[in-house]
Chain A
């Protein structure tokens, strides 16, 4: 084999080997770390049952935030137009966390409530994350736009 061909063969083999390994690992890592977003009513209707860890999105129900007197444990209720879900979390809540704020919590179901390991509330009250807005519209029958005032308070 002449040197040029040999070099090309080596390059092709290297690329091929790297591609196979990379694709395999990527698929594996993606499967492990894909987090789906569901709203409380979607969870209630059983759509999240197939997933151990998922993201719960919705609005914090006004007046639902309750702190434990001793530790950093906090409970609150996340609602969308048609459903509500109690959430339990231990730790420091983000700066923007408050009543009627749209939040996304990552965690898992424990019985009839959701245990969050992370709570995000990145946007101010006039703006809802696009993906959450879409999910809430989809969850609401008829796909009508969900206004904050239309929420069960």
Chain B
């Protein structure tokens, strides 16, 4: 009975979403306050029913209700309860439901915290979000029903994909979706601004905290995904330019451009149309990403579904959302354009250059990701684009961004003097060169590692110089407003990230070796001793577990236990063992037995020593923190002026020159 209730809840939610999507927009257009007032209660009602549907699906998993097809496919009696909850979003249908749930979380938050917004504007924003919800709910109801029955009911279910049975998996998709879906808020603001024309120009300020928060969630989701790939999937790699990773990375890149463009638009009024275009891109790429991952058009470990009806629906939905919003943009953008002129040497210029780089990088990733589809459509044969394509182009595109990073905060809006920049240039150059020379002695002339140290010091010291300048020049309490602190944290995070990427990529030592019990291998300054393999078991798997003792200078520093797990349906999953550290990770993965009939004998092992690899995720976490801190700035909450007040937000002169 409960699955049918879930189905019913979804249908009711869709009807409410329809009301939320249509009536307020008509109301805002006609100036009918009664219709505009529908937005809030309709959104709340939709959220209640979606939450109910989601809760019922969780309940079905917890109660082992194998009469539900989706539950039977993705869980079994031996699966622990926490993985049964994670299994809710472990495949296509449930992850779509999670998407809608999170859309409702954002919508309700927006409705609750935006009481100061002009009535018509808020009605339009909620209306746009309602239309998006209708699209997704119809997709679930008509093509991907998670509550479909399976009769007769099987005594036991299948299994959750073993690569998804990891603590990271319980965490990664919801956070990632918070980011994806969060961009729908920025999108709704932009569409509302286009619909409203020139009447409400303060909208960018209202959109900023939401965009920053969404971007921070997306950052967190990508970091978690990368960590999960490192520990669980990838034999020690942290990024593969896999279509699915790219799917989350494209909106992230456009998101970086968007939050900077929003800052320009809010403070100076310029780049307004560009900001709107970016928020359309960010959301379109989020949609594309969601569907790319789940529709199975691209061969990837993450792809679950392959149903032509879904593909068709997705294509139509994307065409309506992207085509419709771009059409609206083409018609209305000239009405919202404007703003102050800026000189060549100004903060606007630097942000614009970085914006272009990030946008082009996103386009480059998009091309590489979709190229197999393009090649297929044009009958060029079965083509794939290898990681070196991305690995070659991406650093090139990011180089100008890293080089300009220290100067951004020092530049003034509008027009800047060259004088102060020269001293910044001198200091960061001296610091970077000095550290590079010192580093050269430690890394034995590895060019990429030296470049990594130099680039990291360049951006890190550049950021710290600005921190120092504010400390010296501003009175206590006004030194670091949250918005600025967030920016500095994120910029500093880039430096940390660069250390991680360039040092771990260039200095890592990998050994694929054959080891019999008692054999030793030396990796860098570490000696790995293989002490054999024995059998072990967990709640729903059995495994061969290796014992590897790591020695340094004759001292035992760790005993590691990599596993080769076998799950009920015969899927095999490698569980690596990691000895973490701030300056290095040791990583051991069990390959295969050399002789399948003699498990006690020799095995293939992969041994890694990865210096500074943790800094990659550390840098990402700094960026995430920056996003959240900036979103929390009081100015975004307190300073919400009524719509009629000026293009220029109220800003003390000093602040805007800083």
A residues contacting B by CB (< 8 A) are 3-4, 7, 10-11, 14-15, 18-19, 22, 25-26, 29-30, 32-37, 55, 57, 67, 70-72, 90-93, 95-96, 106, 122, 124, 129-132, 134-135
A36–B382 Cα gap in the complex (Å)? 5
List residues 379-404 of chain B with CB under 8 A from any CB of chain A. Answer: 381-389, 392-393, 396-397
Tell me whether B604 and A34 are in contact (CB under 8 A).
no
A44–B298 Cα gap in the complex (Å)? 27
Tell me whether A135 and B591 are in contact (CB under 8 A).
no
Most chain B CB within a 10 A radius of its CB, from A32, A33, A34? A33
A73–B604 Cα gap in the complex (Å)? 10
Cβ of B604: which chain A residues have Cβ within 8 Å of it?
72, 92
Tell me whether A71 and B514 are in contact (CB under 8 A).
yes
A18-B356, A30-B371, A92-B606 provided; 13 other pairs, C-beta below 8 A? A10-B344, A19-B360, A29-B388, A33-B385, A34-B385, A35-B386, A37-B382, A57-B382, A72-B604, A95-B572, A106-B386, A122-B300, A129-B299
- Does chain A have a CB within 8 A of B230? no
* Nearest neighbor of A138 in chain B, beta-carbon distance: B382
- Does chain A have a CB within 8 A of B251? no
Known A-B contacts A15-B356, A72-B513; A35 and B393 likewise in contact (beta carbons under 8 Å): no
Cβ of B591: which chain A residues have Cβ within 8 Å of it?
72, 92-93
Of A14, A33, A96, which is within 8 A of B389 by CB? A33
A57–B381 Cα gap in the complex (Å)? 13
Chain A to chain B contacts (Cβ below 8 Å), 18 pairs:
A10-B344, A11-B352, A14-B352, A32-B392, A33-B388, A33-B392, A34-B386, A35-B383, A35-B384, A37-B381, A37-B382, A55-B382, A91-B512, A92-B512, A92-B591, A95-B572, A131-B376, A131-B382
A32–B391 Cα gap in the complex (Å)? 12
A95–B233 Cα gap in the complex (Å)? 10
Cβ of A26: which chain B residues have Cβ within 8 Å of it?
364, 367, 393
A36–B353 Cα gap in the complex (Å)? 36
- Does chain A have a CB within 8 A of B315? no
- Does chain A have a CB within 8 A of B32? no
Tell me whether B352 and A124 are in contact (CB under 8 A).
no
A55–B392 Cα gap in the complex (Å)? 20
A35–B388 Cα gap in the complex (Å)? 11
Most chain B CB within a 10 A radius of its CB, from A10, A36, A37, A92? A92
Cβ of B368: which chain A residues have Cβ within 8 Å of it?
30
- How many whole Å from A14's CB to the nearest CB in chain B? 7
- How many whole Å from B341's CB to the nearest CB in chain A? 4
Tell me whether B389 and A32 are in contact (CB under 8 A).
yes
Q: Which 8 A-B pairs have the closest CB atoms?
A: A37-B382, A92-B591, A33-B389, A3-B341, A95-B572, A33-B386, A129-B299, A29-B389
- How many whole Å from B377's CB to the nearest CB in chain A? 13
Tell me whether B386 and A72 are in contact (CB under 8 A).
no
Of A10, A22, A95, which is within 8 A of B364 by CB? A22
Known A-B contacts A15-B356, A30-B389; A135 and B396 likewise in contact (beta carbons under 8 Å): no
